[in-house]
A and B are shown apart, each in its own frame.
Chain A
Amino acid sequence: MDTPSYFPVPPGVGMEENFLSLDDILLSQERLPVRTECVFPRLGFLEKSSDSQDIPEGTKMELPLWLCKGLYEKKRKVLSVELPKIYKEGWRTVFTADPNVVDLHKMGPYYYGLGSQMLHFDSPENPDIANALLQTFIGRFRRTMDSSQNAYNEDTSVLVGRLDCLEKVLFRSGQNGLNGFQCWEKGQAAQLTASSLVLNYRKRKLVDVQS
């Protein structure tokens, strides 16, 4: 068992992002369907489907989350952000009916993260969205935790394939705990081991030399 020395900045909790977190930066890159509520002069080149110099009012386009958050204002003079379909009523009923059946990786790998960020846009459905996220998580958590604590030394790709990023982190954490415990039980906890970082560097060096 290796003690890690690299501690990346973790993603933020709930509606907050961590400025330096790579995960949060990638999460905020997800695109959202929006409708412009005012003209954006001289930025027509951002909107590929038309040739005009400006982006007219009422244009429907897709913008990344970070831009939506930056431009959005409560009085809705600038942008109106549409909910992606997985957070709308139809899908919400599917999720709450049986959360374990859904492939959250396919539904956009950042289901919980993006859902929490959508709450910034003052949709009237916010309480329902928040509730759906919570219920889905509660419904799936038991199975994730269970499988992470019982899958020892086997291929977990089937178990992990349908999990969203947050759940994957939890799963990995569970596996680390399980492996650590098994290692200790076997009396291997006192064995000094080579650093996995060092070994990986060496593997990469060999690959570089061969290519």
Chain B
Amino acid sequence: MFCEKAIELIRELHRVSDGQLPAFNEDGLRQVLQEMEALYEQNQADVSEAKAAGRADLIPSIKLRHCCLLRNQRCVVAYLYDRLLRIRALRWEYGSVLPANVRFHMSAEEVQWFGQYKKSLASFMRSIGGQEGLDVTQDMKPPKSLYIQVRCLKDHGEFEIDDGTVILLKKNSQHFLPRWKCEQLIRQGVLEHVMS
């Protein structure tokens, strides 16, 4: 049956249901596009024959191949779109700089898309909240206090806070830091929020 490769692409994404991005299946995509080309060419030939030799009986087969073309198209578009949704989620979970192992899984066009999305989000954030803008990727949970107690889960080097003091983030060290500086590091699993 046609469209087996296309459905494999969809299954690949569906298997990773938590929103992680698997590697870009360039090979698979190419095979689907090749199948589409072959189907299209067979249909072109059959249509000309149907017109020229009056073979209306070829029409059901033409319709069938057309359905396969539409199916392949649907699978490819859904595959690419779902990947973009996952990449968009990366901006909100990881921040603007993606780790190398995640970027390896993205195609060149997807990396470009991520850059443009970042830019759109940044200009949106700058346009709201008065002069300095508003960082909407922060305060995902309603804040209860300005400063929070955090424990360092891994060595992260030096960290500068607003008044100029430099803090050394060494594994297992505890600090009392402004909430807005720590939020991203907590999300990335570098710091742990300690509740008293």
CB within 8 Å of B: which residues of A? 3-9, 19-23, 25-26, 29, 38-43, 46, 63-64, 66-67, 70-71, 78, 187-202, 204-205, 208
Contacts and interface: CB of A to CB of B under 8 A. Distances in A.
A41 B61 contact: yes
Interface string B33-66: 0000000001000100000000001101101101
A171 B7 CA distance: 27
Interface of A is mostly: loop
Nearest to A199: B189
B161 interface: no
A26 B10 contact: yes
Given A22-B14, A198-B94, A192 B82 contact: no
A196 B18 contact: yes
B141 A197 contact: no
B58 A202 contact: no
| Contact-residue bracket for chain B | 35 or more
A112 B42 CA distance: 37
6 contacts: A7-B89, A71-B64, A194-B189, A197-B89, A197-B93, A200-B20
A9 B14 CA distance: 12
A179 B171 CA distance: 30
A208 B102 CA distance: 13
Nearest to A202: B189
A192 B186 contact: yes
A170 to B, nearest CB: 16
A39 B10 contact: no
Contacts of B90: 197
A185 to B, nearest CB: 14
Nearest to B193: A192
Contact of A22 (B2, B13, B187): B13
